[in-house]
């Protein structure tokens, strides 16, 4: 799917400007081969058609502060999540909300988190001087909920649960997670990061939004960066009990931008794009897992737009070999030093990865 202003158009404009300025071209230079970026869990099919149209329409409004768009998206999300406006906080991606949570909560107590998991809140909390309890994943690389419950004490400020988990893609059973959240929320705020929840197979897990809605000490985070394909426009949101959300709002450092807000609002109602995207990403996730397993490479049962695979070699070596095939894959996630996270790309990028894999694995 072409982006609104294509790379080619941009390069064409740059080349025209260059020529007009009389800058000499380097003779004989070979154009750089495009690298397939399968390293950042983006959705290469986005933005969807409705978001693209909204982005174009919002350009003219960019001279204004984004208050109107902000209010509109807030109201739409409140309807979408079946909560009041005061139960939602918008952020510049859910990443900003993770920073805000660290600022507000973990200064007062330690952070309990599974490990490895998405490390944005952990890294930020540690920069703030907070102490972090990392609870290893279980043998199936899922959150070890009993161990996390045991690690939570009166000194805990916040418990972070990433479901499905990044980088392993594993999800925990919905009713077990409900029980865990209800129990642990008696002692500390529980944050459930559902960045990839729209991509799970039916029955694999459940959203914890009903707990947030019911006023439990639970905040659910969502983002427009994954299934909506709007990572570069930086919109995410949290859902939670009104007092928790008011505390969080005080930590806000940025105000979301008009183009992102308008794109998110349009994308929320683009059911066709969301369904098509989910289908395409799920089919290719399955294909990637099947090929890996057929090659004897162990894979988790990933529920995100990425796979987690035991490459049989240090992840850094796998990454270098993949780069030689113009494919960028994820970084190391200790202690799983031979495992690598590979994002699902476009169909063509997935084909490129699957064609390279047997050669990389055998080299
Ligand atoms: C689990 C998880 N949460 C949150 C984020 C942050 O996303 P954003 O700040 O783009 O909303 C990411 C990004 O990769 C993620 O994997």
Please list, in sequence order, all residues whose beta carbon lies within 8 angstroms of the beta carbon of residue 127, skipping any fewer than 6 positions away: none
Ligand 1 and 94: CB distance under 6 A: yes
pLDDT at residue 27, rounded to an integer: 43
Give 294 Cα–ligand 1 centroid separation in angstroms: 31
Q: What tens digit of pLDDT does each residue of 40-98 get?
A: 999 999 999 999 999 999 999 999 999 999 999 999 999 999 999 999 999 999 999 99
Q: What tens digit of pLDDT does each residue of 117-142 get?
A: 999 999 999 999 999 999 999 999 99
Give 32 Cα–ligand 1 centroid separation in angstroms: 29
Q: Distance between CA 57 and CA 141 in Å, rounded?
A: 44
Look over the chain and give the mean of its residue pLDDT values, rounded to a whole number: 92
Task: Name the closest-CA residue to atom 6, ligand 1.
Answer: 95
Q: What tens digit of pLDDT does each residue of 192-231 get?
A: 999 999 999 999 999 999 999 999 999 999 999 999 999 9
Q: What tens digit of pLDDT does each residue of 238-284 get?
A: 999 999 999 999 999 999 999 999 999 999 999 999 999 999 999 99
Q: Which atom of ligand 1 is nearest to the CA of 231?
A: 10
Give 169 Cα–ligand 1 centroid separation in angstroms: 13
Q: Say if residue 193 is preceded by a cis peptide, omega within 30 of 0.
A: no
Element (H, E) at 276: helix 271-294
Contact 112, 160 (CB under 8 A): yes
Contact 327, 38 (CB under 8 A): yes
Ligand 1 and 260: CB distance under 6 A: no
What the chain holds in terms of domains, given with CATH numbers, is 36-45+272-362 (3.90.1150.10), 49-268 (3.40.640.10)
> Against a cut of 0.95, is the pTM above it?
no
Q: Which atom of ligand 1 is nearest to the CA of 225?
A: 10
DSSP-derived secondary structure for 151-164: H--TTEEEEEEESS
């Amino acid at each position: 799917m072409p982006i609104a202003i294509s790379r080619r158009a941009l390069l064409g404009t740059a080349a025209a400007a260059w020529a007009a300025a009389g800058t000499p071209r380097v003779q004989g230079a070979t154009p750089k081969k495009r690298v397939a970026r399968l390293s950042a869990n983006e959705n290469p099919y986005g933005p969807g058609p409705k978001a693209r149209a909204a982005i174009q329409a919002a350009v003219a409004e960019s001279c204004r502060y984004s208050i109107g768009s902000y209010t509109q998206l807030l109201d739409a999300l409140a309807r979408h999540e079946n909560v009041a406006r005061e139960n939602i906080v918008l952020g510049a991606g859910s990443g900003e909300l993770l920073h805000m949570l660290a600022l507000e909560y973990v200064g007062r107590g330690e952070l309990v988190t599974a490990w490895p998991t998405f490390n944005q809140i952990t890294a930020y909390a540690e920069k703030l001087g907070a102490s972090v309890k990392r609870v290893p994943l279980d043998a199936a690389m899922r959150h070890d909920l009993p161990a996390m419950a045991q690690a939570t004490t009166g000194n805990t400020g916040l418990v972070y649960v990433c479901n499905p988990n990044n980088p392993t893609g594993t999800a925990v059973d919905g009713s077990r997670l409900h029980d865990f959240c209800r129990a642990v929320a008696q002692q500390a705020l529980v944050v459930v990061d559902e960045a990839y929840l729209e991509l799970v197979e039916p029955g694999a897990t459940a959203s914890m939004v009903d707990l947030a809605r019911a006023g439990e000490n639970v905040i659910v985070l969502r983002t427009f960066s994954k299934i909506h394909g709007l990572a570069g426009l930086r919109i995410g949101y949290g859902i939670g009990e009104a007092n928790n959300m008011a505390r969080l709002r005080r930590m806000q450092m940025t105000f979301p931008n008009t183009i992102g807000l308008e794109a998110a609002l349009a994308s929320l109602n683009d059911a066709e794009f969301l369904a098509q995207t989910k289908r395409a990403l799920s089919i290719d996730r399955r294909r990637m897992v099947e090929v890996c397993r057929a090659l004897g490479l162990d894979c988790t049962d990933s529920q995100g737009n990425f796979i987690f695979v035991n490459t049989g070699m240090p992840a850094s070596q796998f990454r270098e070999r993949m780069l030689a095939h113009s494919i960028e894959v994820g970084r190391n996630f200790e202690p799983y030093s031979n495992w690598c996270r590979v994002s699902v790309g476009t169909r063509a990028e997935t084909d490129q990865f699957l064609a390279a894999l047997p050669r990389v694995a055998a080299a």
